[in-house]
Structure 1
Amino acid sequence: MKSLRAGAKTGFLFILIIWGLHTVKAQYKVEGRIVEVGSDYDDVSVAIECNGSKKELKLTPIGNFETYLEANKTYLFNFSKPGYVSKIIEFSTIIPDEVHFETIQPYYLPVRLFKTFEGVDTVFFNQPVAKIKFDKTLSDFADDRDYSLKVKYRIDKMRQKKKKPEKKTVVRKDKRDYPKQEIVLVKKEEIVKQPSQTIDKKEEKSTIDLPPLKERYPQGRTDEIFELDGRTVERTIFMTGNIRKIYLAVHHDWGGVFYFIDQADLGYRCISFEAYENLLATQSLDKKNK
């Protein structure tokens, strides 16, 4: 009788251990970094909200952070810094029943904060600037592309409403006739070289500088290949109406190959080879059917 009780007790403890391990694995890791705020992270605040509860995330000296999310919940990441526009990013961990967190790579979330400017609508930034959710096509988490593009459009419109500089009248001290001269005012942002697109990937610990995108691309698929120092980059652009989607395949001379999807304002996101191949095939098929 005692042996039966001992066996039952052991079995029960084994079930508890397995259940406990399963609970631990139900946590999904999200790691990221605050960029473009200089090197001062002391006054940068990163907080996460869910179901009314809120907690602060600790930043490393170089602006990195990490946290673990539970399944089937919606989280709000809040990023702020004095003198900068605050950002909110929504992250939904709702996944199909047959999908498990351990089969998905941790999510890397680079967050770019920009300084406040005249004409900025602070009320607009009380809503998420990006929404991340599970994508069945990728079998991975990805941002809502259409939503991000709409937000980017609104932000660009705000920047265009900056107060124009007043025209200055030049009064000459003498009254001699001078030939008329055409004065062309060039905005500062028009003469500053635009930074090329970069990839900030933790595993590579490097930056890839690519030629800037063209202003216009034809409808359908466009492939570009760039021979860089120690690597070859294949950039694939799909245009569907006004929607542009970009994918990268980075081939290193030492044999490593990494794949990325452009997530608009969030930057590039590393994806698996299977997701990359499946996504390119799906995009091509969708265009052909149309």
Structure 2
Amino acid sequence: MEMLRGLLSGSRTPEFKTAVAKQILKATSSSSSSSSSRTTELLHSIVPALVQTIRAPDATNSGSNLSLLHLCTASLVNLSAGDPRTKEILLEGGIHNACVALLKCKEQTITLSVVLLLLNLTKLAAHRQQFLAAGGLYPIVDLLMHNYASDLAERRPLLSGLMGVVGQLANDETAHAEMILFAIKQLCRGRWQLQHRVSVHLVKSLAAALFEFDNVEFVAAALSLLQTLTNYKPNCFDMKAAGIQEALLSVLRRTKLDTLYHRVANLQERINAQTKYDYFSV
């Protein structure tokens, strides 16, 4: 296995790396029945090499790398199944950032392997938080938006895996709320009737939540949804009546993050512009 690690790390051509990765996948498929020393060898020699291959800056830039990425990810799925040591090594190597990058490439075999890997890596609350901090929620929701209506048989394993990941992420109450807000925002884009319905039911609750919540991800998701709802002008009057402006001032007093500050400022400007009466209009 040490020889395979050296070949994978030292090879220059995607074709040779792919051939090595096939042998690694074959070895990891039978690793569960191997001895303890064999498993330790796999962890400390091959896992970092696989992560390094996936995280290479040009990993997703070439179509010739797709098979290699799939094989490496599938090997990590085998190694991380039920093994906490492998998961810690993966997390230390920045695997969540690599997973987010791979999800964005939209290649079906790679996407399925990454989703299966995330099923193994989002079982603990701390691991879920690391995945969310890496921006993992957005590509997961994007994949759901593009695949939920598909009736193709080959998409069903992907949908099943995605729902499993979403279910595990939703075990955290704040993450659950953040995902719901993001999904609602995506559904509202370009649909003023739905924006109005959502505003009627949610604006007062969001105003109250912005006074109370200190979770940065939740506040950012709430501000993003409110920004989308301002595209329908009557919603802005509802926001003023619900006390959104006071809630935004409360957020500004509590935060020191430039990203939140700019989002609040943009939202305030939008509400003021939409509720400003033009006395010279006909």
- Return the TM-score normalized by structure 1: 0.26
Which of the two has higher C-alpha Rg? Answer: 1
- Return the TM-score normalized by structure 2: 0.27
